[in-house]
Structure 1
C-alpha cells in the first residue's frame, strides 16, 4: 500500500519497549533493538511494521511478510519463519489492539479539527446561556443550544446540533453532523458522524376515526462513560422513562435503539441491529449484525445473539441464541444441519432417478 498520509507512522519504538507496554514477551531478546512504527496485515507487513496472527491456517501470509515482529500465542509461534521475531501474548488480539493505540492514537477517535483551528470557532453558534468549561473545541456551523453544559476536553465537530439543556461530560468527541437532544452524556463518549441521539421515539395510539394519534415522548437518553455510538445510529429518547446505554458499551453504525431501551455495561452491538422499545439488555451482551430484537423482552447478562437472528422472547443469561425465531444456538445449528442433510438426500434421489 502507498504511504498513508491520513495516519502517518509513529516516530518509532524499540521492540523490547513495545513488548513491555503491551504485556507480551519477546522470544528472541537479541531483536529487542528493532524499531517498529506502525501496524499492518501479515502478508504485506514491512521491516518497521508489527502484525498479529490468531490461527495457523493463515500461515501462507508469512511467505510475503517482512514484518519487524508478529504477535501471537504459543499455538502459532511454531509456524513463524525464523526471520520474524515473535511477541508471545496470552491474548494476541488484545495485545495488537494496544500496539495500534500506541502507534496511531489519532485513529481511535473520529477525525476532528476540520477547520484547522482550536477553541470555539466564530462561525459556530453558541447560546449565551450555555456553560462551557475551558479547553473545548467547537467547529464552524455547530449549534449549541440554551442551557447546554459541556465539560473540558470535549470536541464538537462541524454541523453538530446540541439541543437545549443537554449535558455533555469531559473528553468527549461529537462528530460532524450528529444531533443530540434531551440527553445526558457522560465522560469519554464518542459519537460518530450523523448519529441521532434523543429524538422522540415511535409511539402512537389508535385514532377515534381511524389513523393514529402520536403519544408524547418525555423521557431522556443517558449515555454513560466510555460509550461509543456509530455513524448514523439512532437512539430514541424514552416515552416516560429514560433510554439508557451503559458504561463502556460500543454500538456500531446504522443501529436503531427504540424508546425506553436499557442496555447494560460493556455490551457490543454490531451494525444494522434493531432493538424495539422497552427491551432490557444485560451486561456484557454481544449482538451480531442485522439481528432484530423484539420489544418488552429481557436479554440476560453475557448472552450472545447470532447475526441476522430474530429474537422474539427472553434470552437467559450466558446463553448463545441464533436463527429466526432465535433459539439456543446448538438447536439452531442441529436443525440447519438436518435441513441440509434432507436437501442433499432429495438431490441424490433426483440424480439417480429414485422416486421413492
Structure 2
C-alpha cells in the first residue's frame, strides 16, 4: 500500500537523477523521469520505487509493477520488462536512503510551548522545539536544534548535545548525552539502579546510586526501554548503539560503539560489551561478565560467562553455536535410540 500522507509528508515527485544520487546506484533509465514515492514490490506502481534484498521475494519481483527496483547486480537480470533496475552494492541500505529522500524527518518548529516548565537557569540552544508540558530542570543544558516532545522530562543538570530528539513522555536524569541522541516515547534514562543490601533481620536497604548515564553520539533508545544510572561509576552506551523497545540495561553496564540490543533483552549490572555486539530478543546477560567485540547473542540465550570476541552463542546456558547444535543432534539421536529400545522390549 502507498505511504499514508496523513502521517508521512512527501518530498516527491523526484527525478531518477536525485534517486540515484541518494542510492549511490546506477541505472540506464531516463535521468529526468520522475517518481512519486516508495512502496513494497507487491503494491508498487509505475511511479514508485521498490527494492529486493532477499531471494525469497523473487516471485514478487517477477510480478511487480514498480517503476524502479533497487537491487544488487547479481539479481538485476531478473527485473521484469518495464521496470528499471537501480543497481547498488547494498540494496536495503540504499533503499532506506531513497525512502528518507522521499520522506525526510519532520522539520523542527523552533519555539517553546507556553505550557512547558523550564527552570530559570536552564540553557536552551538556538532553534530548539520545546513541546507542551515538557519539563526542563535546573541547570540543564540543551544543545542547539533539539526537539523536546510533549510531557518529556529532563532532570536537573542533564546535558543534551546538538540535534537530540526526545519523544513524548520520555524522561532523562543524571545523564550526559552526545549529539543526535534519540529517546523514543516512554524511554527512561538515569533512574536509580537495582542496588540494595540485605539487613540481618531480612529487610533491604537501598544502596545509593551515585553515577551517571553517558549516551554516546547518535545513540537511539527505544520506546519504554530503561537505562539505569551507575552505582559508583557510570553506565555507558557507546556511540551509534541502538536499543530496541523494552530493553533493560542495569547500572554500571558499559557498551562499545555500534551495539544492538533487541526487544526484551536484559543486561545485568556491570556487564561489559565490546564494539558492535548484537544481543537478540529476550536474551539475558548476567552481571559482571564481558562480551567481546563482534560477538552475537542469539534469541532467548542465557549468558552466564564471558563470551570471546566474534563468537556466536545460543541457548540457556549459552553455548557457542556449533557446540549447541552438536549437543542437540546427540540428544535427538539418544532419544531415538531409547524409543527403538522401548519398542523392541
- TM bucket (normalised to shorter chain) is over 0.9
The residue aligned with 1:136 is 128
The residue aligned with 1:355 is 344
Q: Distance in 2 between matches of 1:260 and 1:344?
A: 47
1:341 positional shift: 5.0
CA offset digits 1:36-81 (Å, max 9, x no partner): 2322211111122211112323111135421111111123223221
The residue aligned with 1:45 is 44
Does the residue aligned with 1:96 lie in a helix, a strand or coil? helix
The residue aligned with 1:258 is 250
- Counterpart pick for 2:318 among 319, 323, 326: 326
CA offset digits 1:171-224 (Å, max 9, x no partner): 100010001110001111100000000001001111121121111100000101
The residue aligned with 1:13 is 14
1:343 positional shift: 5.1
- Counterpart pick for 2:183 among 174, 185, 191: 191
Is 1:166–1:182's contact at 8 Å kept on the other side of the alignment?
Answer: yes
Q: Distance in 2 between matches of 1:92 and 1:344?
A: 45
Q: Distance in 2 between matches of 1:135 and 1:48?
A: 36
Matches within 5 A, 1:27-46: 29-46=28-45
Q: Distance in 2 between matches of 1:197 and 1:160?
A: 12
Does the residue aligned with 1:72 lie in a helix, a strand or coil? strand
1:342 positional shift: 5.0
Q: Distance in 2 between matches of 1:341 and 1:44?
A: 47
Matches within 5 A, 1:1-356: 1=1, 4-5=4-5, 6-26=7-27, 29-106=28-105, 118-341=110-333, 349=340, 354-356=343-345
Does the residue aligned with 1:101 lie in a helix, a strand or coil? helix
CA offset digits 1:92-147 (Å, max 9, x no partner): 1111121122111127xxxx98xxx6401110100101111221111111111111
Is 1:31–1:85's contact at 8 Å kept on the other side of the alignment?
Answer: no
Q: Distance in 2 between matches of 1:285 and 1:37?
A: 38
Does the residue aligned with 2:202 lie in a helix, a strand or coil? coil
Does the residue aligned with 1:70 lie in a helix, a strand or coil? strand
List gaps (5 residues or longer) in structure 1.
Answer: none
Is 2:72–2:89's contact at 8 Å kept on the other side of the alignment?
Answer: yes
Matched residues, number: 344
Is 1:244–1:263's contact at 8 Å kept on the other side of the alignment?
Answer: yes
Does the residue aligned with 1:315 lie in a helix, a strand or coil? coil
Is 1:196–1:234's contact at 8 Å kept on the other side of the alignment?
Answer: yes
Does the residue aligned with 1:25 lie in a helix, a strand or coil? coil
Q: Distance in 1 between matches of 2:195 and 2:184?
A: 26
1:2 positional shift: 5.8
Does the residue aligned with 1:159 lie in a helix, a strand or coil? coil
Is 2:229–2:252's contact at 8 Å kept on the other side of the alignment?
Answer: yes
Is 1:34–1:68's contact at 8 Å kept on the other side of the alignment?
Answer: no
1:344 positional shift: 6.0
Is 2:36–2:48's contact at 8 Å kept on the other side of the alignment?
Answer: yes
CA offset digits 1:214-258 (Å, max 9, x no partner): 111000001011100000000000001000001111111000000
Q: Distance in 2 between matches of 1:337 and 1:64?
A: 41
TM-score by length of 1: 0.91
Does the residue aligned with 1:78 lie in a helix, a strand or coil? helix
TM-score by length of 2: 0.94
Is 2:11–2:104's contact at 8 Å kept on the other side of the alignment?
Answer: no
